[in-house]
A and B are shown apart, each in its own frame.
Chain A
Amino acid sequence: MEVGAGEFFTLLGPSGSGKTTSLMLWAGFVVPTAGRVMISGRDVSRVPPHHRNLGMVFQHYALFPHMTVAGNVAFPLEMRRWGRSKIRNRVAELLELVQLGPFEQRVPRHLSGGQQQRVALARALAALPPAVLMDEPLGALDRKLREEMQTEFRRLHRETGTTIVYVTHDQGEALTLSNRIAVMHDGRVEQIGTPADLYERPATRFVAGFLGEANFFEGEVIGEEGGTIVAVTAAGVRLRVTGRKVHGERVLIAIRPEAMRISTDQETAPTSANAVRGTLIDSTYGGPVVRYRVAVPGTGDLSAAMPSADAPTISWGSPVQLWWQVSRGRFVGP
């Protein structure tokens, strides 16, 4: 993996996917058994954490309880033997940045979670590190606070231009904050790309299913038609998908629910679309969208989501047709 200077790079994945371990590798708390860790072009694989000049923010803040806010923020600077007045100025500057100026002499015990996390951020930024590592820093905060802090992080990233490596399991957070995301699963990187890349062009089944929802079809390629590949599933559903595949290859196709259209059986789908027939088993009103679940014999349950304004009212148990534009379907890896 490579993170560019000034990037907001996120490691996204479920627990146990290896994202925190990767962060620890960069921090220097874990030594690689193979491969190298490089920072600013320097091989630091064997360099201990305190010589890597990084900053780090932890999920539970890890503020030093026996020091004031100022003391905490000044810590990295004292370790690097900055002069006293230089430290004082820098601390004041940082506390201004995170909007905690008046809290300089407070003790962490007397701060709220959000305030503590901001102190932790100020501490991480103090010594002007080339990169700041963040290990699920918003995990301990409630939703509203989390959203506020996300805005904070974006602002600070813009204002300081520091490289940030961020670890989270929350895909919404990842999509909101990042320049690029690495999706991890079972210790491997599944795909790296911008949020749009990952969402609209997922490379694997896991990525498609982890970032948002997806419907999947498993099938075999039987031929070509008008520039598109034709595949057929075990249930006999015939699909056309854009892409390049070999005859006889086993393929996996993903379609986002919002790409699907639902209608009662009477209407027919456009010829440029793929279609399946099934029975509506559930529909939920979700504010901006209405979500439908359709049972398709031989394929399983599929999800569709349509903007509420266009969403037809269909009674449960009715036979329906789902269709989508060929171009919206994608091949994904296993």
Chain B
Amino acid sequence: MLPVFAGIVLAFLIIPVLILVPVSLSSVGYLVFPPPGLSWRWFHAVFADRGWLGSFALSLRVAGWVALLSTALGTGAAVGLVRGALPARKTIYVVLLAPLVVPTIITAIGLYFVFARLHLVGNVTAIVLGQAVLNVPIVTILVAITLQGLDPQLEYAAEIHGASPLRTFLRVVLPLISPGVVAAALFAFLGSFDELLVALFVAGPLHQTLPMRIWNTVQFELDPSVATVSVMVTTLAVAILALGAWLQSRRPAETRE
């Protein structure tokens, strides 16, 4: 009895997104389930639409930069937290994790006000900076977890035998935590790719990321092209997730005894 109920709920969590697949292949121009026929027309339409392609390209570009920036910042934060013996750790934790906790609408509007002052609204850099803020926490957490699995004696061994702290990091620590770092970068990429609110406020009239375009389209019409885009985005997300999970499972070779 209980497993059945649980099974239903778990299915409930997965099914809605799966529904979009047949809808995206619908042969008609309005949302109906089940679709009367299957056709690739919406995939063709989306690929032919310069608006969708442009948004896709922009989202990829932004996500790439966000991944780079958040990973660099998050890795530094993780190293400082785990190996740094810092004062006021609790406070630092709070600041680092706050973007995860504060309602995104607040962060987005706050950034809008600041960027408006700096005349950066409408600039792609603003989107990158804003979304990086949202993704630094998760990168920090993921890299910190990986780093904790690394034997600190390895760093002692490197240093006593002539490696400066920087070289120790580059030659010993980084190679050994790289699976975790790459996984974190992938999650940051995904986080940025799917992000709506910051982009909405900060991207200005000339730029539309993919989520922005979905948002704008959905407000006015529910035609299957959005379903198509959603399916593509979700497939991309699942692929990235799988890659990230696989990388995370390859823990550093030397764990503490």
Contact = CB atoms under 8 A, between A and B. Distances in A.
Given A64-B154, A79-B167, A27 B253 contact: no
B89 interface: no
A113 to B, nearest CB: 11
B162 A50 contact: yes
Interface residues of B, number: 22
A64 B162 contact: no
B161 A64 contact: no
A49 B159 contact: yes
A155 B162 CA distance: 26
Contacts of B160: 27-29, 49-50, 52, 54-56, 133
B158 interface: yes
B163 A62 contact: no
B163 A56 contact: no
Interface string B138-178: 00000000000001011011111111110110001001100
B161 A109 contact: no
A140 B168 CA distance: 25
Contact of B163 (A50, A66, A124, A140): A50
Contacts of A49: 156, 159-160
A31 to B, nearest CB: 13
B49 interface: no
Most buried by A among B156, B162, B168, B172: B162
A31 B185 CA distance: 37
Contacts of A124: 161
B53 to A, nearest CB: 41
Q: Tell me the interface secondary structure of chain A in the complex.
A: loop
Nearest to B168: A50
B161 A58 contact: no
Given A62-B157, A64-B154, A76 B162 contact: yes
Interface string A123-146: 110110000010000001000000
B252 interface: yes
Given A58-B153, A60-B151, A79-B167, A66 B161 contact: no
A226 B167 CA distance: 70
B153 A64 contact: no
A172 to B, nearest CB: 24
A64 B161 CA distance: 12
A54 B158 CA distance: 11
Contacts of A54: 160
Contacts of B159: 29, 48-50
B153 A123 contact: no
B257 A65 contact: no
A327 B157 CA distance: 49
B156 A58 contact: yes
B150 to A, nearest CB: 10
B161 A75 contact: yes
Nearest to B178: A66
Contact of A56 (B156, B167, B253, B254): B156
Nearest to A77: B162
A79 B165 CA distance: 12
A322 to B, nearest CB: 46
Given A64-B158, A65-B176, 14 more contacts: A29-B159, A49-B159, A50-B167, A52-B160, A55-B160, A58-B153, A58-B157, A62-B157, A63-B254, A65-B252, A66-B175, A76-B162, A109-B253, A140-B257
28 contacts: A27-B160, A48-B159, A48-B164, A50-B160, A50-B163, A50-B165, A50-B168, A53-B162, A55-B160, A56-B156, A58-B153, A58-B156, A58-B157, A60-B151, A60-B257, A62-B156, A64-B157, A64-B172, A65-B176, A65-B253, A65-B254, A66-B175, A66-B176, A75-B162, A79-B163, A109-B253, A127-B161, A133-B160
